[in-house]
Amino acid sequence: MMRSARKPRTLGELKDSGYTPLTIREELRKNLIFRLEQGTPLFPQMTGYEHTVIPKLENALLAGHDIILLGERGQGKTRLIRSLAGLLDEEIPIIRGSEVSDNPFAPISRYGIEMVADLQDKTEIEWLPRSRRYTEKLATSDTTSAELIGEIDPIKVAEGRYLSDELTIHFGLIPRANRGIFAINELPDLSEKVQVGLFNILEERDIQIKGYKMQLPLDILVVATANPEDYTSRGRIITPLKDRYAAHITTHYPMTREVEMAIVSREAAHHQRGERTLVIPQFLAEVISEITFQARRSPDISQVSGVSVRMTISNMESLISNAEKRAILQKQPVIIPRITDLEAVLASSEGKLELEYAGQNKSVAQVVRGLIDQAVLTVFNEYWDVEDFEALVGCFQNGWWVEVSDQVPDNHYQVLLPKLKGLESCLLKLDLGPSNEMVPAAVEFVLEGLALHEKLNKDRVDDKVIFNETRQIQPMGRNPEMA
């Protein structure tokens, strides 16, 4: 810590200021302890991890451990490790011009050592902000040691330096992350050769580049992410490197629908909609989240790859967009999604799912429609028993039929509601509020649920859906029973 308000610009001024350098692990511990004592949330954006992942991460940081997060795609692993940068000091002093952020009190590079030896207290320093102390790399099979560790710089050799001279080295990402956090995503995708080099620099603290070996005691916290299937598979990661990560923390998808809905509410795009307001019925938000929960249990879908929360977010955005388009075309002031808008989520779901081999006899669209049906049925059953609609089903048995589509205007449903016996009282369970704005969505929800319970037949004719009592399609003219 410094006693002076003015930032020191030389090593001598830094010494006079009373600044005490900390290692990266000590720095993270200090700031973590301060947050814990103040009761400040550490990772407020990580909804659903408060009692599972975050306590383990806190323990690892207090212990000074290198960390690997194991989980399927879309579980927030990358976001979580990026948020670790928030535990760093606002800025730290380094030797000006150092490629590896040399500590002015204990430089590790030839450049830094020689600079302090020559200039001593006159050595110039600069202040490195926390935003430049986090380095991230996505591992791929073609990632090279030169990228991560370093390479001989031919330009420096051409300037007259010997190959054995440390100053000929162009440092890679890991040495340049000295005194900071280095994160590597999808660790098992690194080749075995690169993994060995990574282990050497982390454990043995040496760099080997084209036969030249040098000691480089880096001060660095290393975090990584991996899919559990890849991480545990033999041959995907060398044992010594696996052992280097003292903390293995398993992430997970949201454990409840409410948590998933909270994430979607925060992460879904919030566009400017002019004078139109957006109202999302609670039951439809539940259906959108339930589609993803159904996918995570489906035998037709590969659970090794996982089903990301991003699918829920994209589906919600697609649902809203379809409803917004209807509001624009029909000049409606309020945007309210309906069950018929769920057809729009096919496009946003198909790219998020990988089918199991056993499910290849089905198309992705067929699988997604099955997920939608199961999600609607599940949420419907949470609100009602199907027997609650005995009077309504009786109306259809007397020959009634109802036509719906995502382009039918709202007033169609307002006229329809009082003529569907028993429906109005059943809708009280949805808590639609004093206005009738959500009635169209609620009517479609009830009809779809009854059809999935096989109490009504559902037939598609072009872009319309007709609910009736028999498989015979009724004429598209006026329904005499509804007049």
DSSP 95-158: ETT-TT---TTS--SHHHHHHHHHHGGG-BEEEEEGGGSEEEEE--TT--HHHHTEEE-HHHHH
The answer to whether position 123 is within a domain reads yes
Provide DSSP, 193-254.
HHHHHHHIIIII-EEEETTEEEE----EEEEEEE-HHHHHSTTSS-HHHHHH--EEEE----
**Tokens coding 301:** 């879908």
pLDDT top residue among 6 and 16: 16
**399-418 pLDDT, tens digit each:** 788 888 888 888 888 777 77
Backbone phi and psi for residue 408, each to the nearest 5 degrees, phi listed first: -70, 130
Q: What percent of the chain has pLDDT above 90?
A: 53
CA-based nearest residue to 437, from 316, 324, 337, 344: 337
460 has pLDDT over 80: yes
Judged by average pLDDT, the poorest of 262-271, 315-324, 422-431 is: 422-431
What does the pLDDT average to over 87-93? 96
What pLDDT is attached to residue 356? 82
Residue that is last in its domain, among 362, 383, 404: 383
What pLDDT is attached to residue 158? 66
What pLDDT is attached to residue 162? 61
Residue 133 forms beta bridges with which residues? none
Task: Count other Cβ atoms within 10 Å, centred on residue 303.
Answer: 15
Instruction: Decide if 198 contacts 173 (C-beta within 8 A).
Output: no
The answer to whether position 4 is within a domain reads no
Complete edge-to-edge strand list for the sheet that includes strand 464-468? 402-404, 464-468, 457-461
3 has pLDDT over 60: no
Q: Which domain holds residue 432?
A: 385-483
What does the pLDDT average to over 260-267? 93
Q: From residue 338, how far is each of 37, 240, 382, 409, 452 by CA, in Å? A: 47, 54, 18, 11, 16
What pLDDT is attached to residue 211? 63
266 and 310 share a domain?
yes
361 and 393 share a domain?
no
The answer to whether position 310 is within a domain reads yes
The answer to whether position 269 is within a domain reads yes
Give dist(CA 328, CA 377) in Å, integer: 30
98 has pLDDT over 80: yes
Q: From residue 323, how far is each of 157, 295, 326, 332, 438 by CA, in Å? A: 64, 24, 5, 10, 12
457 has pLDDT over 60: yes
Instruction: Decide if 400 contacts 479 (C-beta within 8 A).
Output: yes
What pLDDT is attached to residue 144? 87
Task: Count other Cβ atoms within 10 Å, centred on residue 405.
Answer: 18
146 has pLDDT over 70: yes
Residue that is last in its domain, among 250, 278, 300: 250
Judged by average pLDDT, the poorest of 31-40, 215-224, 250-259 is: 215-224
194 has pLDDT over 70: yes
What pLDDT is attached to residue 33? 97
Per DSSP, 7 falls in state P
234 has pLDDT over 70: no
Q: Which residues contact 302 (CB under 8 A, 6 or more apart)?
A: 354, 355, 356
User: Please, what is the end-to-end C-alpha distance for the chain in angstroms?
Assistant: 81
Residue that is last in its domain, among 348, 366, 383: 383
Sole residue written with tokens 């589609």? 291
35 has pLDDT over 60: yes
Sole residue written with tokens 């102390």? 133
240 and 258 share a domain?
no
What does the pLDDT average to over 35-42? 91
**50-83 pLDDT, tens digit each:** 999 999 999 999 999 999 999 998 899 999 999 9
229 and 309 share a domain?
no
Task: Count other Cβ atoms within 10 Å, centred on residue 340.
Answer: 22
What does the pLDDT average to over 76-95? 94
300 and 227 share a domain?
no
What does the pLDDT average to over 274-283? 91
Give dist(CA 26, CA 229) in Å, integer: 33
Q: What percent of the chain has pLDDT above 70?
A: 90
334 has pLDDT over 50: yes
Q: With bands split at pLDDT 50, 70 and 90, how would you rate the model's confidence at 4?
A: very low
Residue 222 forms beta bridges with which residues? 182
| Domains identified in the chain, total number | 3
8 has pLDDT over 80: yes
Instruction: Decide if 33 contacts 215 (C-beta within 8 A).
Output: no
Which of 21-30, 35-44, 195-204, 219-228 has the largest mean confidence? 21-30
374 and 261 share a domain?
yes
Instruction: Decide if 457 contacts 467 (C-beta within 8 A).
Output: yes
Per DSSP, 301 falls in state B
Give dist(CA 191, CA 106) in Å, integer: 33
The answer to whether position 5 is within a domain reads no
**CATH number assigned to the domain comprising residue 16:** 3.40.50.300
Residues constituting the chain: 483
478 has pLDDT over 50: no
42 and 144 share a domain?
yes
29 and 147 share a domain?
yes
CA-based nearest residue to 348, from 404, 405, 261, 268: 268
The answer to whether position 408 is within a domain reads yes
Average pLDDT, the chain: 87
The answer to whether position 3 is within a domain reads no
36 and 141 share a domain?
yes
The answer to whether position 6 is within a domain reads no
Whole-prediction pTM value? 0.84
361 and 431 share a domain?
no
What does the pLDDT average to over 4-33? 91
**CATH number assigned to the domain comprising residue 314:** 1.10.8
Q: Is 468 helix (H, G, I), strand (E, B) or coil?
A: strand
What does the pLDDT average to over 452-462? 88
290 has pLDDT over 90: yes
- Please give the radius of gyration of the chain, using alpha carbons only, rounded to the nearest integer: 30
Task: Count other Cβ atoms within 10 Å, centred on residue 114.
Answer: 12
292 and 243 share a domain?
no
Q: With bands split at pLDDT 50, 70 and 90, how would you rate the model's confidence at 163?
A: low
Residue 134 forms beta bridges with which residues? 181
373 and 425 share a domain?
no
